[in-house]
Chains A and B, each alone.
Chain A
Amino acid sequence: MSANTAPRRTAPLGMLVGAVQGIRQSLLPAAAGAYGLRDQFGGIGLIAGFAILALAIGALGAFLKWWRTTYLVGADAISVESGVVSRRARSVPYERIQDVSLEQPLLARLIGLAQVKFETGAGGADEIALAYLTLAEGEALRELVRDRRDDSAPVPAIDGDPAEPPNQVLFAMPPRRLALFGLFEFSLAAVAVVMGATQQFDFLLPFDLWDGDAWQVLLDAPAGRVAALGPLAQAAGALAALAVLGAIGIATGIGRTVARDWGFVLERTAKGFRRRRGLFTKSDVVMPAHRVQAVELGTRWLRRRFGWHALKFVSLAQDAGSASHVVAPFAQLGEVTPIAAAAGFALPGDQTPWQRPSRRAFVDGAVIGAAIPLAAAIGLLFSPVPVAAPLPLLAVPLIALRQAYLWRRARHALDERHLYTRRGWLAPRIQIASRVKLQSVEIAQGPLARRGGYAALHLGLAGGTLSLAALPLDEARRIRESLLASMAEVDFAKII
């Protein structure tokens, strides 16, 4: 099979498979049609009419689809034209085809046909499929695409440094670290569930959990002192209940953490990063180093005080499906730095040229946020209890404070190799992206942003999202220009 200049149709027999699928879909409209004509036919006639209609609709649909679908094996690309009324021509350059797969559903297999799918690295779900070609034609097409690609495209860069010693352990969590991690994973959700359960099922308990007197009786104190210490006993009861709930929250947190992260080991192997973890369900994931697109350094407000962070890799989605790419769930910065460095990312340091976002954007955020309590206050003013109107306004200073903190903590920086961003108020999250591995750059402005002269910079990142909100417009343009310059230098084929 060679490159052709004339567009060709798919295998005519494929209409048969298409018609069978079409008939399945046309059952409902055919039923409606037959019902409409029920007066003309009786009994058997109705069923026959129904069947004929379904067949006709399915067959016509399949024929039109076949008639209007053509493909062309060109010099640079494969293109597929389809659509009965709206036409769409999709062209896939050979250099971008990562794999060609042949699929044979049962019916297609019986008559020797196959669906040919071309896989590219596109982030969207839609792919390019030719349904149906004869199996021989499909295999020839696959060979042709592989030949073309091998001729023109160089083999993608091999990951890793060959001189590196194999299977170097980058990070591991001994049981002590795991227990500490579990403490910070205190589960409020579990506490809420237990509290809800005690409200619902308190009749099952031999005493009232919320009654301090009952606790006192349970603790076997003399009856006279209970009466004397009434309020104190109540307080003691409440404290005891809180202690029990707290213990449940801690136990749940530790239990969950141990089950998930038992024996956590991250290794640098010849193939990439290998992560193993799990107590009951063991997982073993390998992430090729060159596929890491960006890294994320997260934390929470309490553990941040003690310097604990979590490191995640943003990687191409197909590597590990929806599995999380946490490579160090609970580590000090000193431990995280070498892991990021092994993937080719540098954590921000003293010399990182941090910039602040536009202040105006956060003022706008506070004004918008304050609108909700303000509306509630106005609503209350005309309600039966106008006295309560100022109450929602108490939220306004909190909203303003939050925006002030958000602004104080928000930063971004651009150096020769990376783009850094830090966002969040109680526990800021840092994202570090490789400049050449970005896919697209968008500057977006809403009506408020246009008035305020700021913009959001949305970056196309394979396997994740990366946005720099609230940049001054000139800054956004400047960053975009320098990013595009470094992106245009290297083609996609060389970064994946």
Chain B
Amino acid sequence: MPAGGVLAMQVTMDEAGPQDITEAGADTLTPLHPNHVKLLRMQAGIAAAPLAIGALALEFATELPTGVIIAPVLLLAAWLVIRVPLRRHAARGYDLGADRLRVVRGLWFRSDTVVPFGRVQHLDLAQSALERAYGLATITVHTAGTHNASVSLPGLAQADAAAMRETIAGHIRRETA
């Protein structure tokens, strides 16, 4: 087993308690593309950069011993950039069934949403500049319900996302014809 796989499994283990949503049928969940971790890390890095710069400025501005401010801030930033994206990635997954799409997400607040293809109103396939750099795409399905009016699934390889869109659109055509 490759090292990455072992790591990912450990993460899932300490992540999922005995009463977790994903416990039953976790084997059927498809994990997101590995590049999604890189994307999350890049996003976390961009968010943490002002924090680090601010800490550095404060460090130079004050007379405190070296490292009193910068060390904890950098530790926090490292945790946010290295550890959290890994866990967030492990917490996400999807399952494209014969007639439904299941999207699982959330670290603290877990949610497991299923949208039958027959209830999809329209679909979005979106790519931000960062996502494009990693070859990823986000698919969003829109339903008529007030709750879950749109369900997003990020971190798919672009080709997979496009294929998924065709699958769902094709299903709608078959069902209504």
Q: Does B44 make an interface contact (CB < 8 A)?
A: no
Question: Do residues A86 and B128 form an inter-chain contact, with CB atoms below 8 A?
Answer: yes
Spot the interface stretch: A42-50, A119-127, A335-343: A119-127
B122-165: CB near A (< 8 Å → 1, else 0) gives 11111111001000000000111111111100000000000001
Q: Which of A106-114, A226-234, A435-443 contacts B (4 or more CB under 8 A)?
A: A435-443
Answer yes or no: B24 CB below 8 A from chain A CBs.
yes
Interface residues of A in 133-167 (CB under 8 A from B): 152-154
Most buried by A among B110, B125, B126, B145: B145
Question: Separation in Å of the B37 CB from the closest CB of chain A?
Answer: 21
Q: Which residues of B contact A129 (CB under 8 A)?
A: none
Q: In the complex the two chains form, is B145's CB within 8 Å of A438's CB?
A: yes
Contacts known (A440-B115, A442-B113); A461 close to B147, Cβ less than 8 A: yes
A389 at the interface (CB under 8 A from B): no
Residue contact A87 to B127, C-beta cutoff 8 Å: yes
Q: Using an 8 Å CB-CB cutoff, how does the interface string of A269-288 with B read, 1 for contact, 0 for none?
A: 00000000000000000000
Answer yes or no: A93 CB below 8 A from chain B CBs.
yes
- Which of B2-10, B73-81, B167-175 interfaces with chain A? B167-175
Interface of B, helix, strand, loop or mixed by DSSP: mixed
Contact with B along A72-111 (1 / 0, CB 8 A): 0000110000010111111111111000000000000000
Residues of A within 8 A of B38 (CB): none
Does A446 touch B at the CB level, under 8 Å? yes
* Interface-central residue, B99, B116, B123, by most chain A CB under 10 Å: B116
Would you give the shortest CB distance from A103 to chain B, in whole angstroms? 19
List of B residues within 8 angstroms of A461 by Cβ: 145-147
Interface stretch, picked from A21-29, A370-378, A451-459, is A451-459
A47 to B120, CA, bound (A): 52
The contact of A124 among B114, B118, B142, by CB within 8 Å, is: B142
Residue total for B at the interface (Cβ-Cβ under 8 A): 47
Residue A6 lies at the interface, judged by CB distance under 8 Å to chain B: no
Whether A480 and B148, one on each chain, are in contact in the complex, defined by CB atoms closer than 8 angstroms, is no
In the assembly, what is the distance between CA of A12 and CA of B80, in Å?
46
Of A91, A153, A465, which is in contact with the most chain B CB atoms at under 10 Å from its CB?
A91
Q: How far is the CA of A480 from the CA of B104 in the complex (A)?
A: 14
What mask results when residues 417 to 460 of chain A are scored 1 for a CB within 8 Å of chain B, else 0?
00000000000000000000011111111110011110100111
When distances are taken between beta carbons in the complex, the residues of chain B under 8 Å from A86 are 126-129
Cβ proximity bits B106-117 to A, threshold 8 Å, 1 near / 0 not: 001111111110
**8 Å CB contact of B177 from A152, A445, A459:** A152
Contact of B17 among A122, A123, A450, A463 (CB under 8 A): A450
- Inter-subunit contact A93/B172 (CB<8 Å): yes
Q: In the complex, are the beta carbons of B21 and A445 less than 8 A apart?
A: yes
- Please give the distance in Å from A422's CB to the nearest CB on chain B: 19
Within 8 A of A (CB), among B41-84: none
Which residues of chain B are within 8 angstroms of A91 by Cβ–Cβ distance?
122-125, 165, 169
* Contact B118 A491, beta carbon cutoff 8 Å: yes
Name B177's closest neighbour in chain A (CB-CB): A152
Among A123, A444, A452, A473, the residue within 8 A (CB) of B146 is A123
In the complex, residue of chain A having the shortest beta-carbon distance to the beta carbon of B143? A439
Indicate if the CB atoms of A455 and B21 lie closer than 8 Å.
yes
Docked-complex contact A442 and B112, CB < 8 angstroms: yes
One of A321-329, A395-403, A482-490 at the interface = A482-490
- The distance in angstroms between the C-alpha atoms of A61 and B177, with both chains bound, is 42
> How far in angstroms is the closest Cβ of chain B from A95?
4
Q: Does B121 contact A (CB under 8 A)?
A: yes
- Give B78 Cβ to nearest chain A Cβ, in Å: 24
Q: Which of B116, B142, B143 contacts A488 (CB 8 A)?
A: B116
Query: How far is it, in angstroms, between the C-alpha of A488 and the C-alpha of B128 when the chains are bound?
Result: 32
| B100 CB within 8 Å of chain A | yes
Distance between Cα atoms of A444 and B151 in the complex (Å): 14
Chain B residues within an 8 Å CB radius of A488: 99-100, 116, 118
Not counting A120-B142, A450-B19, a sample of 18 additional A-B residue pairs whose C-beta atoms are within 8 angstroms of each other reads: A76-B173, A83-B126, A87-B126, A87-B127, A88-B124, A89-B126, A92-B122, A123-B142, A317-B146, A442-B111, A442-B114, A445-B110, A445-B111, A446-B108, A459-B147, A460-B149, A461-B146, A462-B145
User: Which residues of A pack against B, CB within 8 Å?
Assistant: 76-77, 83, 85-96, 120-124, 128, 152-154, 316-317, 438-447, 450-453, 455, 458-467, 473, 477, 480, 484, 487-488, 490-493, 496
User: What would 22 A/B residue contacts be, using CB atoms closer than 8 Å?
Assistant: A85-B129, A86-B129, A88-B125, A96-B121, A120-B121, A122-B122, A128-B122, A153-B176, A439-B115, A440-B143, A442-B113, A442-B114, A445-B20, A450-B17, A450-B19, A458-B147, A458-B148, A460-B115, A460-B144, A462-B144, A491-B176, A492-B144
Residues of B within 8 A of A (CB): 17, 19-21, 24, 99-100, 108-116, 118-129, 132, 142-151, 165, 169-170, 172-173, 175-177
